[in-house]
Structure 1
Amino acid sequence: MATTIAEVIADQLSRDPEEGAIQFHGKWYSRGWLKAFVDKIDAALAAAGVPEDAPIGFAPHNRPPFAAALVALFSRQRPIVMIYAYQSPEAIANKLRELKLPAVIAGIEQWTDPTLSAARDLGSAAIALSDDGAEVELLESWKAVPGVEQRKADGIPGVALLTSGTTGPPKHFEISYEKLLKRMVIATEFGATERNPLFSFFPLGNISGIYIIVPAIASGQPIIMVDKFNVADWVAFVKQYKPEFLGVPPAAFRMILDADVDYEDIKSLKLLNTGAATLDPALRREFEAKYPICVTQSYGATEFGGIVTITTPDHVKEFGNSKADSVGRACPGVKLRVVDVDTGADLPAGQEGRLLVFAPGMSEDYIETTDLVMLDADGFLYHRGRLDGAIMRGGFKIVPEQVMEALNRHPQVAASAVVGMAEPRLGAVPVALIQPRDMADAPDAASLDAHVRSLLPKTMIPTDYRMVEALPRTPSLKIDMGAAKRMFEAA
């Protein structure tokens, strides 16, 4: 009996080659195609001379070839280092130079002069995937370069995911295949009883995306994949397959309302669960007033190995709508503590403080977060905000200091402040106050935008820039972020 991720995947790939595995833009990709593509990835890595235990950089888009590449790496339990794909070639090249990986798999459009130059300088194998899933092309072979110490596998092989930053600035967080195996509950429990396809919109480089794609393929459950969440594809999926329960991102609720979706098209739904960011209570009430669908929330992070709290249908039956704004109760085995932000002392139910999480299998101790929460007497968790001042743009967490650091590298910028401004669909967006080196020679928005786009993912790009003579500061000369936000609103 198959008991590892690799064994379960190999078993599924050996079955009916004509059966549909992934649908994308209306086209089905069969299990036979999936197996052939997995073999092409294996062949490309072998032809490149990449050592079997070498870490592989992976910059995935939400497309079938990247899902197949992910399966190939999982089936061989190759160490994976995720690279954020949705950024400029220059930013990706900078990341490659930082990581010094023996091999990198990316889309053909991402292999431009800057990225190829970085691969050659580092001796990294460069493997390109075509959009149509037809080709796996080896652009550069692996080699040793004098003076370059390439990254090596560190201990037990696993996946180095980019965190959302819940427990601090975004960083690589490695989860071993052994832990992923336990979290996904494969082997006999992996078998799907519901044969309807899964609707996949989470990024493949995200833990949520992996938790959909890999178990679905390992269980033989078909996948309907989209580039990113959009109302038209989502409604079409619900109309055709009539699911009763689905997960959606927080931004989806405003998008569905704005699209004035006909309830008749989605009436099979009994419950929608959301996570990644707290759902605005007013938006939830507006949605539930229009659609008789129960909305529940969950909470998790890469550092926890996924979701650690959730509101279940049973909770709704017991408590009705009284816990609707909660992100749920602790999942089995999970323990929560709320402590005083300053002293670290445990707080009683009903008081707000910093959240600490014990996630079984992920850490031997509690993991400290930067989330401000309240735990009620019934054990339901309420998310109150971010202690680190992070901006939640839809499901993406933006650390202002990272954007400020990039802006401050512009030659005409003396200092900057980045704050979040409310936005109906995404919850909040970053905006920037700029203190120019010379007010008479201040940079324009286009110059700032191009500069930041060369350094950061597009989700972190400010939506507006305002020039000021001087940024507001505290007596200790730190930038006063509250005053900066008020200044931006008044400008």
Structure 2
Amino acid sequence: MGIRDRLSRLLAEAAADAEAIEHHGEWWTWGQVQETARDVVEALDAAAPHTGARVGVVLENRPEHIAVVAAVIASGRCLVMLSPLQPATRLAADIARCELPVVVSGAEALAREGVLDAVTAHGAALELATDGRLRPAGGTAPAEAPANPGVAVEMLTSGTTGPPKRVHLRIGQLDQALVSGGQIPKDGRLLSRSASLVSAPLVHIGGLWRALACLATGRRMLLMPRFAVEPWVSAVERHGLRAASLVPAAIRAVLDAGVPKERLASLQVVTSGTAPCPAELADAFFRTYGIPVLMTYGATEFAGAVAGWTLPLHQRWWQGKAGSAGRAFDGVELRVTGEDGTELPVGRTGRLEVRTEQSTGGGRVWTRTNDLARIDADRFVWIEGRADDAIVRGGFKVQPETVQRVLESHPAVREAAVAGLPDPRLGEVPVAAVEAEPEQPAPDTAELVAHCRARLTPYEVPAHIVVLDALPRTPSGKVSRVELLDLVRARIAPQERVKEDQR
């Protein structure tokens, strides 16, 4: 049974008094989910009745938003993800580009400057209350609007080689991704008393996949607004979870917090994806808690992970293969090719290519990724870098050009450059250097940080900014990112020494 049929059954047959989603310590029952879903479908039948009709959702980590996701996918429509993490201007621009016949959103996001106008310029706005009630908020859905039949989700991704783009995920991709990840319901059972934790943003593939995995298997969902150490540990402890997921930055946060071992005693494994997890970090977690960290590798384009570690693989191979991304999952083929597309021998580094039903092209097409990798004789894949300049900060991708443009919009900045600085907790953080306009007073770093915070998502804001008379350049006139990083390290070193002395 695929995820669409599974959602349809849950919305029609799940016991109304059964616990569905825990949020802030309170439970939403399946009856509440079903009621909200019915209201959503009724509104969509009036506003966007066609199969494949595109429905925008400003998706927050809240129970009523899970109900909307289930309703849209189960009804055969196309869920268009809209991120509430964006500043108002970018959210409004994203909505305007999509030209959606209907957008469902919470009241706070709709109240942001320009957002409601962007929705009503092309369609109807539906305001979703925290109790699941839905009400018209303005605008009219057009009689005819472009549909996207066959596509279940249009997910916004920051991309790795250029401007943000939307990845179109077919329903078959979602089905295969859940099967590859072992999320298969037991025969004859609609609901389960077991529970799973969802702490990643639903607008990212990691969060969406985990939410769909809960629904596919009928498990109770423990939905966190965002990751924080104490609520995460409390959920593990209260529900006796045997498995949970943490991005590398969250693994570091748990270790740094000194969480007592007995509070995580129920856990048998922790899975980690979104960003590469250093072997030494996984080892530190294992030494501290006796819990193996099982890394996974995937991408939005694959609707989740396509390779990773399992517990049997960890028990047999970890000592010799620590640092690997694991092996291809069932139904997935991996190969490494040179720049001319020729497959490379075992152990050689090149572009990683994937062939799976999870890809947008289907199971017969090799999809070329932007990752540099090698595959060893035991079929373990080793990710060795990226073929582009994207910065991965704690699992979130940051395009240097996006940050650069914002910095250069400041009147006192002539030119800016952005690079990724290695960070033990987050993997990488964006840092920047700016060249000041010679005729203007030089801006201070606090002013530039405030300028960025008003125009970027929190994870895009540079961790450090240095102001220079001239940017470092190569002989060809391009900005030298190597020298830029050296300059940033030199500027922050005294600050780090002061912090160390104060500890």
User: Alignment RMSD, CA only?
Assistant: 2.5
Instruction: Give 1:143 deviation, angstroms.
Output: 4.4
Does 2:393 correspond to 1:401? no
Contact 2:19 2:27 in 1 (8 A): yes
How far off its partner does 1:371 sit?
1.4
> Residue 229 of structure 2 corresponds to which residue in structure 1?
231
Report the number of matched residues: 481
Cα distance in structure 1, aligned partners of 2:188 and 2:58: 27
Shift of 1:46: 4.5
Deviations 1:249-295 (A, max 9, x none): 11122111111111111122222221111112332232222221222
Where does residue 63 of structure 1 map in the other structure? 62
3-state DSSP of counterpart to 2:136:
strand
Q: Can you give the 5+ residue segments of structure 1 that lack an aligned partner in the other structure?
A: none
Identity %: 33
After TM superposition, list the pairs within 5 Å mapping 1:435-446 onto structure 2: 435-438=435-438, 440-446=440-446
CA offsets 1:419-465 (integer angstroms, 9 cap, x no match)? 12233322221111111223642334454334434443222111222
Name the residue aligned to 1:163.
157
* Contact 1:24–1:224 (CA under 8 A) maintained in structure 2: yes
Matches within 5 A, 1:23-422: 23-46=22-45, 49-53=47-51, 54-112=53-111, 113-120=113-120, 122-130=121-129, 132-144=130-142, 152-163=146-157, 165-166=159-160, 169-185=163-179, 191=189, 195-340=193-338, 342-362=339-359, 363=361, 364-422=364-422
Question: How far apart are the structure 2 equivalents of 1:316 and 1:217?
Answer: 28
CA contact (8 A) 1:7 1:75 kept: yes
Deviations 1:163-205 (A, max 9, x none): 3535765421101223323433578769578631111112212
Closer/same/farther in 2, CA of residues 194 and 478 from structure 1, 3 Å limit: same
- Give me the whole-angstrom Cα distance separating, in 2, the residues matched to 1:78 and 1:402: 32
How far 1:33 moved relative to its partner? 0.5
CA distance in 1, matches of 2:176, 2:353: 22
Q: Which runs of 5+ in 2 are unaligned?
A: 492-503
Shift of 1:321: 2.0
When residues 19 and 96 of structure 1 are mapped into structure 2, their CA distance, relative to the original with a 3 A threshold, is same
**Mapped partners of 2:343, 2:443: distance in 1:** 48
Deviates more, 1:258-267 or 1:314-323: 314-323
Using the TM superposition, name which of 56-65 and 199-208 deviates more. Answer: 199-208
Q: Residue by residue, what CA displacement relative to the aligned partner does 1:317-366 show, whole Å, maximum 9, x if unpaired?
A: 332422221110011222222233x5544332233222122223522322
Contact conserved, 2:296 with 2:326, CA < 8 A, in 1?
yes
Partner letter of residue 161 of structure 1?
M
Aligned to 1:425: 425
- Pair 1:12 & 2:30 matched: no
Quick check: 1:50–1:125 contact (8 Å CA) kept in 2? no
Q: Give the Å deviation of 1:208.
A: 2.5
State the alpha-carbon separation in 2 of the partners of residues 85 and 308 from structure 1.
Answer: 28
Inter-partner Cα distance in structure 1 for 2:249 and 2:439: 38
Letter in 2 for 1:97: A
What TM-score comes out, normalization by structure 2 length? 0.88
SS in 1 for 2:114: helix
On the 8 A contact 1:295/1:324 being kept in 2, the answer is no
